[in-house]
Amino acid sequence: MSVAGPLRVGMVGYAFMGGVHSHAWRSAHRFFDLPLTPELTALAGRNAGAAQAAADKMGWASVETDWRRLIERDDIDLIDICTPGDTHAEIAIAALQAGKHVLCEKPLANSVAEAEQMTQAATAAAANGVMAMCGFTYRRTPALALFKQMVDDGKVGTIRQVRAQYLQDWLSDENGPLTWRMDKEKAGSGALGDIGAHIIDASQFVTGQQITGVSAIMETFVKERPIGGELVGLGGRGAVGADVPKGPVTVDDAALFTARFDGGPIGIFEATRFALGRRNALRLEVNGSLGSIAFDFEDMNTLQYYDGTDEPGAQGFRRILVTEPEHPYIAAWWPPGHGLGYEHGFTHQVVDLVNAIATGVQPTPSFADALKVQRVLAAVETSAGNYSTWEPVPA
């Protein structure tokens, strides 16, 4: 039995996404047979002390305080970008030009222009066997991957309608402090890019079709937030003292839009971080001529399937528990009925990326795929900003 060679990873950023990515790099080869074994070689962060503490906690062998040092190192094969969107383009392009594979968190960039530059760099790098992938991990949720298989197999017939929602509530308290996610310069957009990008990608992924135009509305419910303030009161909610300075929120809190797909279906999309009681409800439903399929990430191990060809009197949505070894990714995990969690999608992402690198096959979603999402995001912003009835999405 041959021993798999190493894939030496350098990661930039170590907050929420960095923690989940670290878990995935540590665990993937322990459950899946991989042609390359990921090694957590180096972690980069501007604060040396905080970066070292994160590296010690998450299992990284060394620390750099400048991402450029990661790219210069001969013992790094892949750069994993887990930073705010305003840094994605610079890091990714430099890494690809240096011959490093790249995994970049979504959305790909803060603008279409940056995403186009990143895609051009990825195309050039691919000619030399250097791979780039964007991290739309919900594609790797087994139930959503099964959703796509069923659509591809014709289970819904001709697709007529798509409805997609991503509902969260973590910003619903108006006294919550101002963070980088509410700064357009760093984040690019708010709910639209942060979570709306996921449902755009998921809808295009399961249908195999592209959004060609949108009509949108966006809203910022809380215009200012405390700078560095702490929440007070019951359960962390309550008034902030008058002496706490506030800064402007420059992104959207919610975005809604209708859409058309290139194969004919119509769609309706909603992304909000103000839906009280909805913690992480990514919902997707496809209605077709023969049936319907529905998914909700808050019940992530199941699908709801309606077969329109069933006999009258026997029709109704059936619940599919996606934990069988025949289902995508499941065979490597637990016995049937033992569900997976949020972190497993990131592990599956590592598995697919490592296999693609080892075989020289372009991983998906590619930067070109992510650019298509970026163009939809831009069209939504333009439509909402101009109060236009329709905004085409460039092909």
Indicate whether 133 and 249 sit together in one domain.
no
Domain count, the chain: 2
Looking at residue 2, its pLDDT comes to: 44
Q: How many CB atoms lie within 10 A of CB 387?
A: 9
Looking at residue 240, its pLDDT comes to: 54
The CATH number of the domain where 302 resides is what? 3.30.360.10
Mean pLDDT of the chain, nearest integer: 95
Indicate whether 98 and 193 sit together in one domain.
no
Indicate whether 125 and 260 sit together in one domain.
no
What's the rounded Cα separation, in Å, for the pair 391 and 395?
13
Indicate whether 230 and 310 sit together in one domain.
yes
Which pLDDT band, with edges at 50, 70 and 90, does 238 fall under?
A: very low
The CATH number of the domain where 118 resides is what? 3.40.50.720
Residue 344: inside a domain:
yes
Which pLDDT band, with edges at 50, 70 and 90, does 4 fall under?
A: confident
Indicate whether 80 and 165 sit together in one domain.
no
Indicate whether 103 and 189 sit together in one domain.
no
Q: What mean pLDDT comes out for the span 207-230?
A: 92
Strand order in the sheet with 318-321: 318-321, 302-307, 291-296, 281-288, 159-167, 266-272, 254-261, 211-219, 391-392
Going by their DSSP bridges, the two strands 36-44 and 63-64 should be labelled as: parallel
Instruction: Compute the residue count for the chain.
Output: 395
38-86 pLDDT tens trace:
999 999 999 999 999 999 999 999 999 999 999 999 999 999 999 999 9
**Global pTM?**
0.95
Indicate whether 196 and 225 sit together in one domain.
yes
- Give the end of a domain, one of 138, 161, 179: 138
- Give the end of a domain, one of 113, 138, 163: 138
**Structural domain that includes position 74:** 5-138
Looking at residue 232, its pLDDT comes to: 33
Looking at residue 389, its pLDDT comes to: 82
Looking at residue 226, its pLDDT comes to: 94
Q: What mean pLDDT comes out for the span 173-185?
A: 95
